[in-house]
Amino acid sequence: MKFYKYQGTGNDFVVVDDRSGSFPVSQPYIAHLCHRRFGVGADGLMLLQNAEGYDFRMVYFNADGTEGSMCGNGGRCLVRFAHDLGIIGNETTFIAVDGEHQAKVSLSPEVISLKMIDVNEIEKNEIYDFMNTGSPHYVEYVEDLKNMDVYQKGKNIRYSEPFVSRGGTNVNFVEVVGDNQLEVRTYERGVEDETYACGTGVTACALSANLRYGFEDFVNINVLGGQLRIEFDRTVTGYENIFLIGPAVRVFEGMI
Q: Tell me the per-residue pLDDT of 87-103, one tens digit each, with 9 for 90 and over.
A: 999 999 999 999 999 99
Query: Is pLDDT of 165 > 80?
Result: yes
Provide the annotated active-site residues: 71, 198
For the chain, the average pLDDT equals: 96
Query: Is pLDDT of 108 > 80?
Result: no
Specify the CATH number for 122-242; select among 1.10.10.10, 3.30.70.2500, 3.20.20.140, 3.10.310.10. 3.10.310.10
Rounded-to-integer distance, Cα 186 and Cα 10, Å: 12
Write the pLDDT tens digit of every residue in 68-78: 999 999 999 99
By the 8 A CB rule, do 251 and 12 touch? yes
Query: Is pLDDT of 10 > 90?
Result: yes
Q: Taking residues 151-163, what's their average pLDDT?
A: 95
> CA 7, 13, 17, 18 torsion: positive or negative?
negative
- The model's confidence at residue 138, banded by pLDDT at 50, 70 and 90, is very high
Ranges for all domains in the chain classified under CATH 3.10.310.10: 2-115+247-255, 122-242
Query: Is pLDDT of 136 > 80?
Result: yes
Q: Taking residues 157-162, what's their average pLDDT?
A: 93
Q: Taking residues 57-86, what's their average pLDDT?
A: 97
Q: Taking residues 178-195, what's their average pLDDT?
A: 96
CA distances from 255 to 1, 139, 156, 208 (A): 6, 39, 38, 42
Specify the CATH number for 2-115+247-255; select among 3.30.70.100, 3.10.310.10, 3.40.50.2000, 2.60.40.1180. 3.10.310.10
